[in-house]
Amino acid sequence: MKPTCLFAACFAALVATSVCASAQPGETLLINGKILTADAQFSVRQAMVVRDGKIAAVGTNAEARKAAGPKAQVIDLGGRTVTPGLIDSHMHAIRAASFFATEVNWAGVPTVAEALDRIKQASMTRKPGEWIVVGGGWKAEQFKEKRPPTQAELAAAAGNHPAYVQLLYAWALMNPLGFEAMNIKSDADLPGGGKLDRDTDGKPTGGITGGVIPLFDKIPKPTLENQVEGTKKFFRELNRLGMTGVSDPCGNNVTPDTYNAINKVWHDKQLTVRVAYSICGFNPPHEVEEYKKYLGLMPMGFGDDMMHFNGIGEQVVWAINNVVNPKPEDLERFYEIAKWAAARGYGLTFHCGTDAAANAVLTVFERVNREVPIANLRWSLAHLNDASAANLRRMKALGMGWTMQDEMYFQGDETTKRQGADASKRMPPVETAREIGLTVGAGTDAHRVANYSPMVSLQWLLDGKTVSGNPTRGPEEIPSRANALRSYTQGSAWFSHDDDKRGSLEVGKLADLAVLTKDFLTVPVEQISGLESLLTMVGGKIVYASGPFAKWEAH
């Protein structure tokens, strides 16, 4: 892993900045809609004028028609609901996108049979010996059978291809050809302390517990051409779900080369989702030297409205991730990096799985703040399902925010068994955070450990149910529909420092919006996960259209 690769990519992008701004259409008039502006009053309007990529007017049909020019293209919304474009405040989108063209996707698949059929269909289009990979984003509880596939089932579906199926970061399944391709015959051949699962007779089952992060790195990576194709396809898939923006926190299985595809798509002006990205250390424990070396020419906010550098994270110092009592030398390294980032005006987001682990992190931030104020830098903690009110107040006092994900959708059943129903009832404490006044951005942490759909996440926000349908979060931590939508729009935009430009449908802001299949405010909660966008705009440009609006996408 060579940080200089990232530096070279950043320098090339710097040279290309002048050509990265997307051309915008002239003027569009949207009429006869139910426009949820998500402004401070959560106003509902009927029509909107989009001019040169921004919102020029919002109001009644008559007011909008008066504000529009004579040559405006007119789109009749037919009473449909319009929301601001959805923004995921914590998605590993760059990594997910680079694999999307070559991986098999099990997100939301309802049965093992259908999941295996997707493997079989992929096997028919691959060259003999080419890997078939399911990289995550699924859980056994989503299947009717309530179990993962067996090795025999995987082998039958994959045919003459090595196959790898990953479940979160905890477990993987391979067919015999996969083990043969990796030359794995015993536990000693597994990286990262992984163990072969065995049945009651001691025979390997094909499952591997632990060590899946380094195990995944043993699979051949997609070509740059495939990564570029995947990036375009994945972002179009997000557009289909009403998404127009992501904040990407770097993370596991990411190297400097991972950014090559997104840089090319951005340079070619083909991005359809706005990306704010963070950079993490790639070679622990040398994070201090790395940051200072390869981010030397990276000013905060470098880029444009479609893609920009948003600071460092989420593994700022890998050794203290989720550690309740970090070593003093690791905390000192973390302090040095945080102070350096604060002095440069960088954003910072940190992976913090538990409230107990957050104590040491927040103590470092408070120390930094006494020397270099961070109140205007919008630093954040991610995850933190069991956040205490005390630590949320500490975050508020530092000017921080909380990027909250729907981890409990997949993990809630296990958490309840481990910690009890009473603990789960307040996980995550989204309403407590709102009452404290802390900015909350919603998201998924997709795609290895979660479904990437914002609609699944929004439904979970409103019903608190796990993938198996069990309610965990109590009513005291259930937000209103308006506040749930705000967390996926204005709230998330805050973390990328552009909530003054997007996140609500107000005059002067970028025209990022989604026209939904059903009304988000009135559809039964259990149907929210099935919502899609019929028309998605990014900066006034139609990037996705289907059904009654399909004809508009080419314009």
**pLDDT (tens digit per residue) in 51-88:** 999 999 999 999 999 999 999 999 999 999 999 999 99
Token digits of residue 303? 């880029």
**Considering the chain, what percentage of its residues have pLDDT values greater than 70?**
95
Stretch among 10-24, 170-184, 465-479, 480-494 having the lowest mean pLDDT: 10-24
At position 100, the amino acid (one-letter code) is F
18 vs 552: which has the higher pLDDT: 552
Averaged pLDDT, 204-211: 97
Nearest to 346 by CA among 300, 302, 392, 382: 300
84 vs 297: which has the higher pLDDT: 84
21 vs 44: which has the higher pLDDT: 44
Tell me how far CA of residue 26 lies from CA of 55, 78, 546, 555, in angstroms.
12, 22, 22, 11
| Structure confidence at residue 9 (pLDDT) | 47
At position 340, the amino acid (one-letter code) is W
- pTM, entire model: 0.94
| Structure confidence at residue 25 (pLDDT) | 54
- 224-530 placed in CATH 3.20.20.140: yes
d(CA 300, CA 549): 38
Number of alpha carbons in the 13 Å side-chain half-sphere of residue 404: 32
Rounded to a whole number of angstroms, the CA Rg of the chain reads: 23
454 vs 283: which has the higher pLDDT: 454
| Structure confidence at residue 282 (pLDDT) | 87
Nearest to 400 by CA among 418, 426, 374, 422: 374
Averaged pLDDT, 177-200: 97
Q: Residue 296 — very low, low, confident or very high, per pLDDT cuts 50/70/90?
A: confident
- 103-216 placed in CATH 3.20.10.10: no
Burial class (CB in 10 A: 0-12, 13-18, 19+), 38: buried
CATH fold match for the domains 103-216 and 224-530 = no
The answer to whether residues 392 and 436 touch, using CB atoms and an 8 Å cutoff, is yes
3-class SS of residue 395: helix
| Structure confidence at residue 12 (pLDDT) | 43
Angle at 15 between CA 10 and CA 16, to 5 degrees: 90
296 vs 84: which has the higher pLDDT: 84
Q: What is the mean pLDDT of the chain?
A: 94
Averaged pLDDT, 332-340: 97
d(CA 381, CA 390): 14
Nearest to 310 by CA among 342, 349, 256: 349
d(CA 407, CA 509): 31
| pLDDT tens string 91-127 | 999 999 999 999 999 999 999 999 999 999 999 999 9
Pairing type for strands 54-59 and 47-51 reads antiparallel
Nearest to 350 by CA among 366, 334, 339: 334
Q: How many helices (DSSP H) and strands (DSSP E) are in the chain?
A: 19, 23
Alpha-carbon torsion angle 352, 354, 360, 366, nearest 10: 70
Partners of 167 in the beta sheet? Answer: 171
Nearest to 81 by CA among 35, 46, 30: 35
Q: Is the pLDDT of residue 3 over 70?
A: no
| pLDDT tens string 382-430 | 999 999 999 999 999 999 999 999 999 999 999 999 999 999 999 999 9
Q: Is the pLDDT of residue 4 over 60?
A: no
Backbone angles phi, psi at 155, to 5 degrees: -65, -40
Stretch among 55-64, 146-155, 321-330 having the lowest mean pLDDT: 321-330
Q: Is the pLDDT of residue 19 over 80?
A: no
Q: Is the pLDDT of residue 15 over 60?
A: no
Q: For the chain, which residues make up each domain, given as ranges?
A: 103-216, 224-530
d(CA 218, CA 462): 40
